[in-house]
Every structure is written in structure tokens, then in C-alpha cells.
Chain A
Amino acid sequence: DTAVSQTPKYLVTQMGNDKSIKCEQNLGHDTMYWYKQDSKKFLKIMFSYNNKELIINETVPNRFSPKSPDKAHLNLHINSLELGDSAVYFCASSPGPVGTQYFGPGTRLLVL
């Protein structure tokens, strides 16, 4: 069983579209994260979500919104996609706010 899963694995879409990436963890963890890895392979945290408290990296455009229907899921919605949004997006979870993180396989987003 995959501990942290993401769907889809690949997403190709046009500029201006709205898309969602789903993340699910079956580890019973309380904290989930979204990261963006750009073309230079640099990782940046976008959001962390712990016990219904959302912490947003202030540099993330408000076109990005995380939504957590329950503790096991943290989905990422992106409105009005731009070329610069092309990247690999990783979801991760950890038992608590500071703990070993378990990463999903990543979603490769390409905006044309």
C-alpha cells in the first residue's frame, strides 16, 4: 500500500485553466505539506496543514489554494494557470508539525 499517493502523476494543460492535484496519506499523520520543485530542482514549501491550521508561504500566489476534506487528504487547487506554474509538485505528510516527512511520488505539471 502506498503511504502517500498523488494523482495525477502527469498533468498537461493550457494557460488559464483551473486544475486540481489530489493527495492522500494512509499513515494516520496529522500534518501534510505541499512543495514545488522548479526546473532547477529547487524545492520550496508552499503550504503546511496541521489540525485544521493552514500555514501559507507568503510567496505563493493566491491562485493556489489547498483544501483538506479530512485529515488524510490535502488537495491543491490552482486557478488561472500560468506558464511559470510548470513544475513538479510534491505532497508529504508527517506525524506532527516537526517529524520525519513521507513524500508522495510527485505530480509533473506542464502548462502550455
Chain B
Amino acid sequence: KNEVEQSPQNLTAQEGEFITINCSYSVGISALHWLQQHPGGGIVSLFMLSSGKKKHGRLIATINIQEKHSSLHITASHPRDSAVYICAAHNNNDMRFGAGTRLTVKP
């Protein structure tokens, strides 16, 4: 079992839908990262969280340290949000990655 589990693996949504991607981890963390990997392969850091909630535009990330769980939400989804979303547990000098969630948003 991977130390960082994401669900779902694949997600297809219609434009405008509210999206939730979940991440559970079993390791201790100093921070949790959400990354976006575009179809072309480039990786962008979306959020780094150690507690609570962060918001950036239509994206919201939350983390529950006690439950070792984080969620990434996308409001009013758009086809340009189509990408692979990866969560990563960061502990000191070690990063453990989830397998990613492939999101496809259809117009």
C-alpha cells in the first residue's frame, strides 16, 4: 500500500461542476503539496499546506492533520483544468507522492 493514496484515479466532469480530489497519507508530514501536471508534462505547484485551508482563485485546498487527509476542490470547473493532480507528503528531506488523479473536464 502506497504511503500516499489519492482518489479517484480518474475523474471526468462537465464544465461548471464542483470537483473534489482526495489525498490520504500514512506518514508524518511537515507539509502537504498539491501539484498540477499539464498534458504537456510541465508541473506547477498549486498549494503547500501544513494546516487549515488555502484558496487561490477557483481552487481550494484543505487539510485535516488529525485524520491525515487533504482535499483539493475546484469550483466552476473549466476544460483548461484538465490535468493530472498530484498530492505529495513532505517530511524533512523526503517527499512521497500519490499516483495522481487524472481530471478531464468536458465542455
Chain A contact surface mostly: strand
A57 CB to closest chain B CB, in angstroms? 8
Q: What is the bound-complex CA distance between A92 and B88, given in angstroms?
A: 14
Q: Report yes or no: A101 in contact with B41, Cβ–Cβ below 8 A.
A: no
| Most chain A beta-carbon neighbours within 10 Å: one of B88, B95, B99, B100 | B95
Q: Report yes or no: B44 in contact with A103, Cβ–Cβ below 8 A.
A: yes
Q: What is the bound-complex CA distance between A57 and B90, given in angstroms?
A: 13
A53 CB to closest chain B CB, in angstroms? 9
Asked if A44 is at the interface (CB within 8 A of a chain B CB), the reply is yes
Q: Report yes or no: B45 in contact with A44, Cβ–Cβ below 8 A.
A: no
Q: Which residue of chain A lies nearest to B37 when distances are taken between CB atoms in the complex?
A: A41
CB contact under 8 A between A100 and B99, given known A43-B86, A45-B94, A105-B42 = no
Q: Which residues of B contact A108 (CB under 8 A)?
A: 41
Residue ranges of A at the interface with B (Cβ–Cβ < 8 Å): 33, 35, 40-45, 48, 50, 55, 57, 88, 90, 92, 97-103, 105-106, 108
| Top-5 shortest CB links A-B | A55-B93, A103-B43, A43-B97, A45-B95, A48-B93
Other A-B pairs, 8, CB within 8 Å; known A98-B48, A98-B90, A106-B41: A42-B99, A43-B86, A55-B93, A101-B33, A101-B45, A101-B48, A105-B41, A108-B41
Residue ranges of B at the interface with A (Cβ–Cβ < 8 Å): 30-31, 33, 35, 37, 41-45, 48, 84, 86, 88, 90, 92-95, 97, 99-100
